[in-house]
Amino acid sequence: MFSTASRYQILAANPIRTRSTIENDVVVKRETAFYNANIKNVKTIDQFVNDYRLFNYAMKAHGLSDMAYGKAFVKKLLEEGVDNPKSMANKMTNPLYKEFVKAFDFAGKGALATSEASATTETVSKYVQQTLEHKEGEQNEGVQLALYFKRKASAITTHMGLLGDKAVLKFVQTVFNIPAEASKADLDAQVRNLRKHIKIEDLQDPAKVEKLIQRFSAMWDMNNPTQATMNPILNLFGDSTESGFSIDLMMSISKLPRGGY
């Protein structure tokens, strides 16, 4: 089993081949073919939420598989849209709901909603990425979180945005060794704490995002040791670079300032 850093580097080094492997998966090809052939024929919200395969494909693509059973809830979100600041989607703390409603903008575009790129090619691309992340997560949750953070980082513009996404928050808590219990504090206290550790503008810098991922990978493996991550420790005089988690890296991580990279 690869360390988190090694597996992430393998996937990131050749993203085209990585995505191609997922796209050519038998199930992914079948479901994507069905989605492409039928989504533009959907003209109403009722049609959409009542078509099991299309609806579940779309929900998975947008990271909402766990809520696919809540058709009445999602229907109301879609009916209200996102133009009204008081709509349900705009009030949800989880930004994934708003992203979903914007992608399938029945409230704003009516019958044309499913012909937009956001509902067709972009949703298919997200489905492939979600499938990749889920597959990696079955082997190593750390890799899944690293891939997810890389995908979401640039869209986060406030510290409250970090709190609104549980996966992103878990990533940040791991990076800076913030205990999960900190989430029990009131929101203002949580925001103040996050401001001590991370600058939101840094999430717009790909180089700094990669440094965060590198630190996360090391911290994750130290907190969740496996044979792959323990080998460099057990074999101090051997080749510790094969797993992608070197002794030098471990030592440097331990010396990193908590508020920087």
> What CA–CA distances, in Å, run from 239 to 215, 221, 234, 235, 236?
21, 18, 11, 8, 8
The pLDDT of residue 229 is 52
The pLDDT of residue 241 is 35
Where is pLDDT greater, at 56 or 254? 56
Indicate the average pLDDT of the chain: 87
- Cα dihedral angle (98, 38, 63, 136), rounded to 10 degrees? -160
Residues 6+ apart with CB under 8 A from 109: 116
Instruction: Place 243 in a pLDDT band, splitting at 50, 70 and 90.
Output: very low
Where does 4-123 sit in CATH, by number?
Answer: 1.10.3700.10
Instruction: Place 94 in a pLDDT band, splitting at 50, 70 and 90.
Output: confident
Instruction: Place 36 in a pLDDT band, splitting at 50, 70 and 90.
Output: very high
> What CA–CA distances, in Å, run from 41 to 13, 37, 80, 143, 227?
38, 8, 22, 37, 50
Instruction: Place 230 in a pLDDT band, splitting at 50, 70 and 90.
Output: low
Q: What is the pLDDT of residues 162-175, one digit of tens each?
A: 998 899 999 999 99
The pLDDT of residue 259 is 46
Q: Delimit the domains of the chain by residue range.
A: 4-123, 155-255
The pLDDT of residue 2 is 83
Instruction: Place 95 in a pLDDT band, splitting at 50, 70 and 90.
Output: confident
- Average pLDDT of the residues in 193-207: 95
